[in-house]
Amino acid sequence: MRLPRDLSGVELAAQLQVLGYAVTRQSGSHLRLTTLSHGEHHITIPAHTPLRVGTLSAILGEVAPHFGLTREQLLQKLFS
């Protein structure tokens, strides 16, 4: 599955709610998300529109191992 090309940071934060992430703070144009599922995990997402493909890939690359998923499984879960 290809990465979405027109996804904003705010939209990604909303999609990550499926995995238990919630916005814990915002500093300027960056959102800090935290989940307690599978242990505590924090990620920072720029609230840019659209997110660059490399940035999105890096964020998903941090989230997938935390949940024991491959990147492809994570994409299916979030965007299908």
Q: Return phi, psi of residue 19, to 5°.
A: -95, 5
> Could you identify the residue written with the tokens 């924090």?
42
pTM: 0.91
Amino acid identity, residue 53? V
Domain ranges of the chain: 9-79
pLDDT at position 17: 95
- According to CATH, the topology of domain 9-79 is Metal Transport, Frataxin; Chain A (3.30.920)
Asked whether the beta carbons of 25 and 41 are under 8 A apart, the reply is no
What tens digit of pLDDT does each residue of 20-77 get? 999 999 999 999 999 999 999 999 999 999 999 999 999 999 999 999 999 999 999 9
